Structure 1
Amino acid sequence: MRVKYIFLFILAITYSSALAQDVTEQEIKNNYAIASDNMDYKKYNEAIPALNWLLKNAPSFSQSVQDWSIQVFETIANETGDKQRKLVLLDSMLIAFESKREYFGLSDLAKNKLAFRYYKYFRNSPEKYEEAYEAFVDVFKKPETVINNNLVPYIYMAKQYDAANKTLSIDQKNKIYDDIQGEVATRKANNGNASRLDNYMSNVDNLYIRLLGDDISCDAMTRLAGGLSRSDSVKVSKRLMSITLDTKCGRTTEYEKALGILARNEPNPGLFKILAQYSAVDKKYKEAISYYQKALALEVDDVKKANIYFDIAQLYYIDMDKPAARKNALASIELDPKGSAKAYSFIGNLYMSSFNECSEGNNPVEDRAVFFVAYEMFEKAKDVAGMEEAQKQFPTKSEAFNHNMIAGDAISVGCWINAKTKVRTRSSN
């Protein structure tokens, strides 16, 4: 106790030059001693009057005054059941922090503690949002000093502040995200707890989207794509797909990577169909067909399966495999007879396009038999325009007669078509 009072005496001498006329050295020493004794015995309620007096009348006397005040006001605030008293105590705690800043300066750790207390106690208090936001901005001026517990609260309080005041620009919002993401990446690179840091960033991603609100853009997608390499990459992928739909960003590298992750981890027909469409656009037809076949394996609805078969048929046609194209078109018809018109027309066009490869040049009626079977397909599709185009290619009656044939005679079509049909003719040229 003797050492404490010797220290008190030295402080009193140092402080005497700044002493107000109506405050005596003895009053300061007495109140400091009362506060000190009660702090020693954790009698925090009893310490409050002396601490309040010192904060008001001798704030620069000793840094202990502010440190004790912060500790006392916060501790009692957490213990009291009186909501109004709790608010008063927490406000007093903030005043003690600011008093310490004014007279002694705040260390980086103290700034972190102040910012976190705004989040802990005032995250739903609009009147404190601006102060809270500024406290976090101050902390992140030195991101390397930020405690882990303040990584998520920063963007949370920014969201609260902007929601209430609409004052943050897109650049400010992006900078907040970039500052946090950059520091998390640095800590992971320095062997920080990767799982915990990934969890922080997952929460930060969610809050970033909410912070952007209507300002969300394709630029945000690029930022969020960093999460595709995290442990929660599936969640990130779903988020990116949603953003793509909302912003109409279209096909991007990030979107394709997200699709691939979801296709591997949570496959569904829709994902594989999108991948197939992208491959088809890139003229990677075999790859596209492979994706469609994966979609088929997962699809349970017959009509949807029929549509997939038809998509595959079209790709085989583009890839110059007409037998496979017809096979898949017929599979589409079998699964969805009511919607078969387009598939029948498709097969009709397959036959129409096969004249050059199937004709042998010996018999014009036999060579033009591809148009007979094409007509039959168009007829099943009720495709009048297709029927008319096929009819234009029929041999004339005289051509058929010259080869000992008349309309209605049976005839076989060879080549890849390998079908039986009947002779059809037109009146004249």
Structure 2
Amino acid sequence: MKLKNALIGLFTLSLVGMAQAQEFNWPSDPQLEVKARELNAAYVDYMKSEQFVDATKPLNWLLVNVPKLNESIYINGVTVYNGAAVATKDPAQKRIYQDSVMKVYDLRKANFDNETKWIENKAYYGYQYFREDKTKLAEAIGNYDRAFEVNGTINPAYTAAYFDLVRRHYLLNKAYTPVQVLEIHDKITKLLDEAEANGKDVATPKSNVESLLIAMELINCDFIENTLGPKLTADPANMALAQQIFNYSVKYKCFSSASFLSALEIIDNQNPTYATSQVRAMRYMQNREYDKALPVLQKALTLAENDVQKAEIHYDLAKVHAQDGRKSAARSEALSAAKLDAEKSKDAWKLIAEMYMSSSSDCRRGVSRVEDQAIYIAAYNAYSRAGDSKGMAEARARFPSREELFTESRQVGETITVGCWIGETVTLATRD
């Protein structure tokens, strides 16, 4: 603490030195000049010795009577009145000194017109002083808004303080709609993202801002669907809103909403990625809109960055083809998935096996029972490659019997070609 105070003292003295190195506009009246010089020296001496309350009296005279004396009376004035506020125990007097800090900034603007240099500092003090006072929140927020206005941005380190004021103003004074709060949050997020892209470490303010948003319990799936969704319907070209809905839907796991799909469609149409196309296709598949899913999956395949991603899309394509009755195309896609990714191979072969099992009635010719039941041997082999013992047992239970083989003059171990779309050669076996 001693080191910190020493550093603060050195900083204050350096400001004093810098300020007093500037030209002073002493009054032309000799008696007034003498008094101004005397009181200027007095408040500086009090300030150096950290007698801030005593320093306020001569400083106040200077601010009122010689406002253009030198910018130092405003630079040091913040130090004096803030120090007095810290030193004072009486709440009413403390507020007077705090208000005086803000007034000093206003006077500095009026007399030296260099607001861009210090507006963020004023906003910082406003947060420290007024965050617990619901009647002063609007004023405190106004200082940050003014910083955005004159500088185009604020220091990333101040973003959490700014959003905390917005949060308090929303909760205590109902000063914003939820949508307006989110707009401010998006403005801050954009600021932090840009700072991060420029190499600044903004992990702490980012985390703090997000924690504040979550604590507000502002966003849930109903809010996304019923508040943001209609706005997107009314303005379907609004990419920023679509991205907002998408991000919030992901964060709060609102994947089943219609607004999420609408946002996803807009994003995927304008700036497609493997992820957006895959998720979009998955939603279509969940809705049984296979005709919509197919072209999106084909696009996702061109955007895939590795074999694992390609295998995932081939497998999804296999499911789409299977649902629409294109079983041969489905098998081809499933085999492609199995070749690309060993982890996906089991799922692919199980899908093939299930298609074989479901094709028995379509492929039955009714000429030879053994030939008609050979499809289950093909299914059994596919289940085996999938490592699905339950499926293997179900398929084996439908193999021809020994008696059926004998009746048709066939033998175990004999090969036979399964017709229809399957077109595989299998080795005859029996269920018994």
TM-score under structure 1 length normalisation: 0.60
Contact 2:134–2:173 (8 Å) recurs in 1: no
Please point out which of 353, 360, 371 is paired with 1:355. 360
Secondary structure in 2 matching 1:368: helix
The offset of 1:134, in angstroms, is: 3.7
Pair 252,323 (structure 1): closer, same or farther in 2 beyond 3 Å: same
Is 1:84 the counterpart of 2:85 in the alignment?
A: no
Aligned partner of 1:6 in structure 2 is: none
- What amino acid maps onto 2:316 in structure 1? D
- What amino acid maps onto 2:401 in structure 1? T
Query: Structure 1 CA distance, aligned partners of 2:280 and 2:121?
Result: 45
The offset of 1:333, in angstroms, is: 1.4
Pair 122,396 (structure 1): closer, same or farther in 2 beyond 3 Å: closer
The offset of 1:331, in angstroms, is: 0.7
Secondary structure in 1 matching 2:405: helix
The offset of 1:344, in angstroms, is: 1.7
Aligned partner of 2:20 in structure 1 is: none
Query: Structure 2 CA distance, aligned partners of 1:150 and 1:413?
Result: 76
Aligned partner of 1:218 in structure 2 is: 219
Pair 179,333 (structure 1): closer, same or farther in 2 beyond 3 Å: closer
Contact 1:177–1:208 (8 Å) recurs in 2: no
Of all paired residues, the percent bearing the same amino acid is 22
TM-score under structure 2 length normalisation: 0.59
- What amino acid maps onto 1:416 in structure 2? W
Give the 5 Å matches for 1:4-403. 72=68, 75-77=71-73, 84-85=79-80, 94-95=99-100, 120-124=121-125, 127-130=128-131, 134-135=135-136, 137=138, 160=161, 163=164, 168=168, 171-172=171-172, 175-176=175-176, 211-218=212-219, 221=224, 233=239, 240-337=245-342, 339-403=344-408
Query: Structure 1 CA distance, aligned partners of 2:311 and 2:163?
Result: 50
- What amino acid maps onto 2:430 in structure 1? T
Report how many residues are paired: 347
Which 5+ residue runs of structure 2 have no aligned equivalent?
A: 1-24, 41-56, 86-95, 105-114, 143-147, 194-205
Pair 139,79 (structure 1): closer, same or farther in 2 beyond 3 Å: closer
Q: Deviations over 1:195-234 (max 9, x none)?
A: xxx9799669999856434224425757677699699945
Pair 319,418 (structure 1): closer, same or farther in 2 beyond 3 Å: same
Aligned partner of 1:409 in structure 2 is: 414
The offset of 1:370, in angstroms, is: 1.2
The offset of 1:356, in angstroms, is: 0.7
Pair 129,379 (structure 1): closer, same or farther in 2 beyond 3 Å: same
Aligned partner of 1:191 in structure 2 is: none
The offset of 1:323, in angstroms, is: 1.2
Query: Structure 1 CA distance, aligned partners of 2:382 and 2:179?
Result: 64
Pair 89,47 (structure 1): closer, same or farther in 2 beyond 3 Å: farther
The offset of 1:372, in angstroms, is: 2.1
Which 5+ residue runs of structure 1 have no aligned equivalent?
A: 1-34, 51-55, 57-64, 100-113, 142-146, 185-197
Query: Structure 1 CA distance, aligned partners of 2:400 and 2:326?
Result: 28
The CA RMSD measured in Å over matched residues stands at 5.6
The offset of 1:319, in angstroms, is: 2.1
Say which is worse superposed, 269-278 or 349-358, in terms of deviation: 269-278
Q: Deviations over 1:336-394 (max 9, x none)?
A: 24642222222112111111111121221122221121122123233322222122212
Say which is worse superposed, 171-180 or 212-221, in terms of deviation: 171-180
